[in-house]
């Protein structure tokens, strides 16, 4: 069975169209399916409008509701907990993902892939912040994490339910679910999908989400690059600070011993000592991280 999970917030007009398109396409696929809609605290009566549609009576649609808006990651998690399919599809509710592309995902999965990521072509967005963030995030992930994806933030994805045993959705970490699948050794690929212009409403991506996205990208960098060896990360930073502090202190010591310069006349001494202390503390944080990783693996 295919479980199509669609999280949404105030997308009543878009959902009415999307559900009709999905029913038409899924009925042609020839596989049993369910559509799981997760209302993340909408205030536009989205749930009521769906329940009063004729298609709701087919029993192919589930509607799950959060009492308040808690984020897309938690909405996806709610959907996953209430699915019964062995193949899960993520779609956005804004009509920019085209149900006509659904068979492409299923064809790739029939060829043995565990995860199929969508790659949007002819992207329709005039959001400068979104385009800028997406461009630099993709370049960063490919350069530093060897990401096999060129559009990791595409909301259209399909995967086997089995891959979820190695991943838990929380907060905004759904953005890097594709990376987690890749790093856990599953077979992944990417296919081109349409990106239709938004017909109703407007994008909810703003400056606040840009900052969240930047920090999430840095979090992914740390998790997938240094999670198994935190000392490599903290050791580099701490080592650089310690070295800078040591060089400052060494230079001041030479001045005092050979040129008679009084140290109390050199406030930079406190900078050197502070850098040494902070550097040691950061290095020790890395050591503690290594110990935690070791003990965790030992328990397993």
In this structure, what CATH number is given to the domain that contains residue 40? 3.90.550.10
Torsion sign (Cα): 212, 72, 91, 98: negative
pLDDT tens across 245-297, in order? 999 999 998 888 887 777 777 788 899 999 999 999 999 999 999 999 888 87
Where does the pLDDT of residue 239 fall: very low under 50, low under 70, confident under 90, or very high at 90 and above? very high
241 lies in which domain range? 230-299
> Same domain, yes or no, for 32 and 172?
yes
C-alpha 251/C-alpha 220 separation (Å) is: 39
Instruction: Note whether 43 and 159 are same-domain residues.
Output: yes
Question: In 227-264, which ranges are continuous DSSP H helix?
Answer: 230-259
pLDDT single digits (tens) 87-122:
999 999 999 999 999 999 999 999 999 999 999 987
Looking at the fold, whether 185 and 277 belong to one and the same domain comes out as no
Residue at a domain's end among 192, 226, 260: 226
Same domain as 241, residue 94: no
Do 85 and 166 lie in one domain? The reply is yes
Amino acid 39: pLDDT = 93
Look at residue 203 and give its three-state secondary structure.
coil
Check whether residue 109 and residue 252 sit in a common domain: no
Is residue 130 over pLDDT 90?
no
Mean pLDDT of 10-25: 88
Does residue 203 share a domain with residue 85?
A: yes
The domain boundary, picked from 226, 252, 269, lies at 226
Q: Report the chain's mean pLDDT, rounded to a whole number.
A: 87
| Region 46-70 average pLDDT | 81
Looking at the structure, tell me whether residues 291 and 180 fall in a common domain.
Answer: no
Is residue 123 over pLDDT 90?
A: no
Task: From 226, 248, 263, give the residue that closes a domain.
Answer: 226
Together in a domain, 99 and 142: yes
Residues 6+ apart with CB under 8 A from 212: 172
Report the domain count for the chain: 2
């Amino acid at each position: 069975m295919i479980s199509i999970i669609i999280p949404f917030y105030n997308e009543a007009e878009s959902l009415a169209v999307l559900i009709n398109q999905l029913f038409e396409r899924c009925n042609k696929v020839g596989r049993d399916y369910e559509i799981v809609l997760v209302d993340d605290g909408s205030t536009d009566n989205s749930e009521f409008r769906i329940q009063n549609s004729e298609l709701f009576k087919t029993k192919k649609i589930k509607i799950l509701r959060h009492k308040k808006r808690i984020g897309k990651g938690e909405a996806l998690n709610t959907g996953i907990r209430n699915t019964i399919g062995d193949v899960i599809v993520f779609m956005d509710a804004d009509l920019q993902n085209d149900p006509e592309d659904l068979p492409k995902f299923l064809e790739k999965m029939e060829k043995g892939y565990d995860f199929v990521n969508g790659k949007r072509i002819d992207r329709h967005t005039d959001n400068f912040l979104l385009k800028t963030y997406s461009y630099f995030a993709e370049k960063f992930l490919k350069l530093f994490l060897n990401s096999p994806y060129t559009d990791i933030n595409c909301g259209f994805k399909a995967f086997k339910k089995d891959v979820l045993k190695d991943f838990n959705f929380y907060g905004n970490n759904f953005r890097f679910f594709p990376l987690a699948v890749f790093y856990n050794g599953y077979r992944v690929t990417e296919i081109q999908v349409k990106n239709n212009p938004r017909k109703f409403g407007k994008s909810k991506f703003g400056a606040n989400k840009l900052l969240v996205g930047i920090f999430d990208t840095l979090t992914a960098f740390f998790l997938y690059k240094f999670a198994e060896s935190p000392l490599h990360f903290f050791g580099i930073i701490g080592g650089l600070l310690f070295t800078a502090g040591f060089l400052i202190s060494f230079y001041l010591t030479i001045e005092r011993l050979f040129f008679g310069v009084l140290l109390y006349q050199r406030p930079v001494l406190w900078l050197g000592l502070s850098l040494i202390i902070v550097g040691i503390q950061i290095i020790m944080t890395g050591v503690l991280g290594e110990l935690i990783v070791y003990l965790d693996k030992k328990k397993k």
